[in-house]
Amino acid sequence: MLADLALIALAALTAGVGAIGGLGGAVILVPVLVLSGMPIVEASPLGLISVVAASVAASGRQLRDGTVNHRVGVVAESAATVGAIVGALAVGVVSERLLTWIIAVVIVAAAAMSGRRKGIRWHPDTSLDASAVGEWVGSLNGAYDLNGSVVPYRPRRTVFGVSLMGLAGLVTGLAGVGGGFMKTPIASEVMHLPVKVAAATSTFTIGLTASVALAVTAIRGDIDVNAGALVVLGAATGGLVGARLQRQLSPVVVRRALAALLVVISVVLVVRA
Amino acid sequence: MSTVDPAQATAQKKLATLIGRATYVLMVVALAGVLVGGQIGRSLDGVVVVTFALVPWLRVLWLVQRWQKIGDKRFALAGMLLIGIALAGVMVSFLVA
């Protein structure tokens, strides 16, 4: 009973923190479960379940706020999914230890880019009203609400950004980890999406990736659905709370929190290696 | 000049409400599964996990039909491509396994 409650609490905490930055909580949840003695083959599916549950739970709030850019998400996810499939088929080509170090270095670089930048890139446009909030038809552009002001944005370096998403997918496929910790920084720092839009869009796309990975896992073996239900309870709660918190925090705070989280994740990965 | 599709904005709010309510219902079912235990509990838990895994893809299907409806064909195609890629990935892993 105590172990069940601990699993719910852990899933809630990691999913909540993950939902704020669009990272998914699995990258923290799975190592903690493994360190507590759970075999990796049992912990990994629980991580995927936590990502899907938190992604779905957070989406209600994020859809209402108009922070998810589905068009960016769909285009980026197509590249990431191709990369993930290629990566999953090529598992073993690169040593796990080397791969972990590469990911850790990439994450630290992403954290430095996110944390170093001051202020916000996109500023309120007083000529726009609330009806402009959301994604815009026929393009990757859109606008989001920042404390009652409407802030338009226009993604930059789209081809390069989508290519990096494909590379992120390749790395996640090779390493068997979720890609939120790479997707949010790529969307925010390379494609210049506002960090809240990047995080909400990443939350949407990691739900897609994790559900496919869950289907693959189910094909390859059993999933402990009892433990999965406990994780759902925690992760869905975390996703709901994380999405609400993200709405209330300023973009600068979200970006700094993201940078701090990325550093924590890189440390966890290196310790695990 | 913004070009938000007003119909999509309204439909998206309805979708948000639907997903929000579905989340709470699934959480209650998950809790029931945990409390009941045994075969029935396991079945309930299985339904919860499978439903959660399907929701993101149902959302993409919904987006594809919305984009198709408003003539945003490029992105409707991208959505269908994404679904195709994911299905291909699952098929490949099934064959490899």
Q: Which residue does chain B place closest to A223, by CA atoms?
A: B46
Q: Does B76 touch chain A (CB under 8 A)?
A: no
Structure tokens at A161: 């950004």
Nearest to A212 among B74, B78, B86 (CB): B86
Q: What are phi and psi of B12, to 5 degrees?
A: -65, -35
Q: What is the mean pLDDT of residues B26-30?
A: 96
> Which of A186, A155, A157 lies closest to A170 in space, CA to CA?
A186
Q: Does B92 touch chain A (CB under 8 A)?
A: yes
* Contact flag B30-A232 (C-beta cutoff 8 Å): yes
Percent over 70 (pLDDT), chain A: 96
Q: Does A86 touch chain B (CB under 8 A)?
A: no
List the domain boundaries for chain B. Answer: 10-96
ipTM over 0.95: no
Out of A67-81, A109-123, A182-196, pick the least confident: A109-123
Q: Does A2 touch chain B (CB under 8 A)?
A: no
Q: What are phi and psi of A142, to 5 degrees?
A: 180, -170
Q: Looking at beta carbons, which residues of chain A come within 8 Å of B82?
A: 74, 77-78, 81, 208
pLDDT of residue A181: 83
| Longest distance between any two alpha carbons in chain A, whole Å | 57
Nearest to B79 among A74, A136, A225 (CB): A74
Total domains, chain A: 1
What pTM did the predictor assign? 0.89
Residues 52-81 of A with CB under 8 A from B: 52-53, 55-57, 59-61, 63-64, 66, 70-71, 74-75, 77-78, 81
Task: Tell me the C-alpha distance between A209 and B89, whole Å.
Answer: 11
Rounded to the nearest 10 degrees, the angle between the axes of helix A40-65 and helix B38-69 is: 40
pLDDT of residue A218: 84
Residue type, B9: A
B48 has pLDDT over 60: yes
Q: Does A220 touch chain B (CB under 8 A)?
A: yes
Q: Containing domain of residue A52, as a range?
A: 2-272
Are A223 and A47 a contacting pair, CB within 8 Å?
no
pLDDT of residue B2: 54
Query: How far does A243 lie from chain B, in Å, by closest CA?
Result: 12
pLDDT digits (tens, 9 = 90+) for A35-52: 788 887 888 889 889 999
